[in-house]
Amino acid sequence: MYISEKAPAKINLTLDALYKRTDGYHELEMVMTTVDLADRIDMFELPGPAISLESSSGLVPQDERNLAYRAAALLKEKTGIKRGVHIRIHKQIPVAAGLAGGSSDAAATLRGLNRLWKLHLSDAELAGIGAEIGSDVPFCVYANTAIARGRGELLTPLPPPPPCWVVLAKPAHGVSTADVFQRLRIDQIEEHPRTKAMVEAIKNRDYPSVNRHLGNVLESVTMKMDPEVRKIKEKMIQFGADGVLMSGSGPTVFALVKKEARARRLVNGLRGFCQQVYAVRMLGTRSEGVLDKIRTK
Ligand code: C5P
């Protein structure tokens, strides 16, 4: 028997860094949501206790370094369960892109194995386990819309953002999140995002206000490492985006537009500058995004 879980990409509508903590992490305040660009994780029951993993992308590790593998191993350790699993990852989300692809794979693995192994753990319990794997994993367990504080693991749910199209463009090179945070100088941040105003905009389903309050303090840091980020932003505005922002630590940049025709125009315009371009719908909630069918081979 095997089950499948969809692992949607995350985008940041805001990302603010408040201070550097004594444990080396940054205290953050972020508004995060999901878009309809997703990996698919298939989990096959195995007769023995081993974990094995394969991925359709050669860009991610196919062994115990993969976050989905680590999720399965940690779940076994925490619950004492002796069962094995083969994990197959169908990768769609660009890697090292600021879209939490690896974290979402880990979260989908936790959700899937919770069902496959009938563990009856709550989302909160899965998120607690996920926090040991990476800062974005708890958000990805819920895969809805939320304010994330602390390292990113303290979540307050929000309603989904107003419906729109999201055009994502990933520059050729990836960046390491640790590298970007290391270069961030909190005392040199010129403008902090107005998180409260973004939350109000979402609650009021006020699309223009969501666009007005997009902000990410890591954007200028990553822009210095990769000039393509600025170029893509400029092109997106030129091609008619309503709002433009880099997601997470980048380097993926996204544009919000209301109409599908405008999204197509942006994709066509960007193709000359950037190889990885996607037009997808804003999701913001897990209910329609999860494949919850149990299949029998
Ligand atoms: O938690 P995760 O492994 O995803 O974080 C990757 C790196 O990003 C951390 O090692 C740290 O350098 C940086 N980071 C940070 N503050 C956060 C989250 C991540 O400095 N809140």
At 249-289, the pLDDT tens digits run 999 999 999 999 999 999 999 998 899 999 999 999 986 54
Predicted pLDDT of residue 294: 37
Cis peptide, bond prior to residue 162, ω within 30 of zero: no
Predicted pLDDT of residue 295: 37
Model confidence at 171, pLDDT cuts 50, 70, 90, reads: very high
Substitution site in 70, 133, 151, 181 for ligand 1 pocket (most atoms within 8 Å of beta carbon): 181
CATH of the domain at 205: 3.30.70.890
Residue 216 CB–ligand 1 contact under 6 Å: no
Predicted pLDDT of residue 286: 82
Residue 28 CB–ligand 1 contact under 6 Å: yes
Residue 83 CB–ligand 1 contact under 6 Å: no
CA of residue 125 to ligand 1 center, whole Å: 21
Among residues 97, 110, 174, the alpha carbon closest in space to that of 137 is found at 110
Predicted pLDDT of residue 150: 98
C-alpha 182: how far from chain center: 20
Whether 136 is a known active-site residue: answer yes
Cα(252)–Cα(239) distance, rounded to whole angstroms?
17
CA of residue 24 to ligand 1 center, whole Å: 8
Cα(295)–Cα(297) distance, rounded to whole angstroms?
6
Asked if 194 and 122 sit in the same domain, the reply is no
Asked if 170 and 59 sit in the same domain, the reply is no
Half-sphere exposure of 163 (CA within 13 A, CB side): 2
- Run of H or E including 44: strand 26-46
Mean pLDDT, residues 114-136 taken together: 98
Q: Which residue has the higher pLDDT, 287 or 147?
A: 147
Cα(266)–Cα(279) distance, rounded to whole angstroms?
9
Q: Tell me if 104 is assigned to a ligand binding site.
A: yes
**Of 159, 194, 215, which residue sits at a domain end?**
159
Q: Which residue has the higher pLDDT, 294 or 105?
A: 105
Asked if 236 and 113 sit in the same domain, the reply is no
At 64-112, the pLDDT tens digits run 999 999 999 999 999 999 999 999 999 999 999 999 999 999 999 999 9
CA of residue 141 to ligand 1 center, whole Å: 18
Asked if 118 and 232 sit in the same domain, the reply is no
Asked if 203 and 131 sit in the same domain, the reply is no
Predicted pLDDT of residue 287: 65
Q: In the 3-class helix/strand/coil scheme, how is 157-181 assigned residue by residue?
A: EECCCCCCEEEEEECCCCCCHHHHH
**Phi/psi of residue 142, each to 5°?**
-80, -35
Owner of token pair 């009021």: 204
**Which residue in 136, 226, 233, 235 is the catalytic one?**
136
**Of 103, 130, 159, which residue sits at a domain end?**
159
Asked if 18 and 141 sit in the same domain, the reply is yes
Substitution site in 18, 25, 32 for ligand 1 pocket (most atoms within 8 Å of beta carbon): 25
At 16-44, the pLDDT tens digits run 999 999 999 999 999 999 999 999 999 99
CA end-to-end distance (rounded Å), the chain: 6
Q: Tell me if 103 is assigned to a ligand binding site.
A: yes
Cα(119)–Cα(133) distance, rounded to whole angstroms?
19
Predicted pLDDT of residue 1: 84
Asked if 115 and 252 sit in the same domain, the reply is no
Domain that holds residue 274: 165-281
Residue 2 CB–ligand 1 contact under 6 Å: no
Mean pLDDT, residues 220-224 taken together: 97
Whether 91 is a known active-site residue: answer no
Instruction: Check pLDDT > 70 for residue 163.
Output: yes
pTM: 0.95
Instruction: Check pLDDT > 60 for residue 292.
Output: no
Q: Which residue has the higher pLDDT, 86 or 295?
A: 86
Q: Which residue has the higher pLDDT, 58 or 212?
A: 212
Residue 290: inside a domain, yes or no? no
Give the three-state DSSP class for 182: helix
Asked if 52 and 185 sit in the same domain, the reply is no
Residue 9: inside a domain, yes or no? yes
CA of residue 82 to ligand 1 center, whole Å: 31
Number of independent structural domains in the chain? 2
Cα(44)–Cα(296) distance, rounded to whole angstroms?
10
Which residues are within 8 A (CB) of 289 and not within 5 positions of it... i.e. 6 or more apart? 6, 8, 34, 36, 38, 143, 283
Task: Calculate the average pLDDT of the chain.
Answer: 95
Cβ contact 140:32 at 8 Å:
no
Model confidence at 244, pLDDT cuts 50, 70, 90, reads: very high
